[in-house]
Structure 1
Amino acid sequence: MEFTDYHTRLAAYALLVDEDDRVLLAWWNGEGHSDPEWSLPGGGIDFDEPVIDGMVREVFEETGCHVEPGPLLAEHHFTARGRTFDGWFRSQRFVFEATIIGGELGTTEVDGSTDHAAWVPLAELEGQPRADIVDVALAARAAER
């Protein structure tokens, strides 16, 4: 399939793990078409926005935290049929390490896709409903260690 035959969605996320082995996650509400689940804070990049800037913006919107971007940890893509349009799309996702430099925990979105954010102990994550991007990020983190 040629690049003009499908849509592309760029997204960037932050993996934030604290000294108590807790990961900062955003509760994605499913937007009326999927079951709610935990996700990494992050999301879609605006048309004329650098990927890093989009990640910083999305993390703030979903968690209330200001972050300093770190290195790229993982990149991942998948293809699927569109839910809001007829045709195929490619989702290209980037996960960055990041450090919290300010802000206050609490979602700043109004009527957005994130209901709240929370620090979730890694040991309690098993069995929790979560987006695959969480597992992509944690696997990349484990591979670096």
Structure 2
Amino acid sequence: MHFTEYDTRLAAYAVIVNDADEILLTWFNGGDGGRPSWSLPGGGVEYDEAVEDAVVREAYEETGYAVELGPLLAIHHHNAPAGGPFPRAYRSQRFLFHARVVGGQLGTTEVGGTTDFARWVPLAEFPLPERTAEIVGLAVRRLGRR
């Protein structure tokens, strides 16, 4: 399919693990028509925004933490056909970056968004009993755990 025949969404996420071997996750409330689930801090890249800047902004909005990016951990894409959740065929291109907390305090700062809260989750608890976005599983696998 030619790129003019589908819509594309760029998204970028932070993979943050603390010294206690816990990963920072966010609770996506399904507000944009999706299903509620655990996800990584991150989201859509604005039109005039660098991918790296989007990760830093989204992490702060969703977790209250200022973060510093490390290396790229993974690139992943997801496709959806036309007529499903979207009127046109759809491709989501996702970038996952290692990151570390450099300031702030835990607490969602966005108002009226799709993230209700953030929480540190022990990596030893994976897989989680609650619904979890596939990018969380990808991050955990790339980190070399489960």
Superposition TM-score, scaled by structure 1 size: 0.93
Matched residue SS, 1:70:
strand
Is 2:96 aligned against 1:95? yes
Deviates more, 1:56-65 or 1:126-135: 126-135
Counterpart amino acid of 1:93?
Answer: R
Deviation at 1:21, TM superposition (A): 1.1
**Partner of residue 19, structure 1:** 19
**Partner of residue 81, structure 2:** 81
**Partner of residue 112, structure 2:** 111
Seen in structure 2, the aligned counterparts of structure 1 residues 85 and 37 have a Cα distance that, compared at 3 Å, is closer
Deviation at 1:85, TM superposition (A): 4.4
- Which structure's residues are more often helix, by fraction? 1
For residues 70-111 of structure 1, the C-alpha deviation after alignment (integer angstroms, 9 at most, x for no partner) is 000000001103666411111000000001000110000101
Output aligned runs, 1:60-79, within 5 Å.
60-79=60-79
The gaps in structure 2 that reach 5 residues or longer are none
Equivalenced residues, count: 143
Counterpart amino acid of 1:81?
Answer: P
For residues 39-71 of structure 1, the C-alpha deviation after alignment (integer angstroms, 9 at most, x for no partner) is 000000001100000010000000000000100
The gaps in structure 1 that reach 5 residues or longer are none
Matched residue SS, 1:49:
coil
CA distance, structure 2, for counterparts of residue 137 and residue 92 of structure 1: 15
Q: Give me the identity figure in percent.
A: 54
Aligned-residue CA RMSD (Å):
1.6
CA distance, structure 2, for counterparts of residue 98 and residue 88 of structure 1: 32
Deviates more, 1:32-41 or 1:115-124: 32-41
Deviates more, 1:15-24 or 1:26-35: 26-35
Superposition TM-score, scaled by structure 2 size: 0.92
Deviation at 1:33, TM superposition (A): 2.8
CA distance, structure 2, for counterparts of residue 69 and residue 90 of structure 1: 25
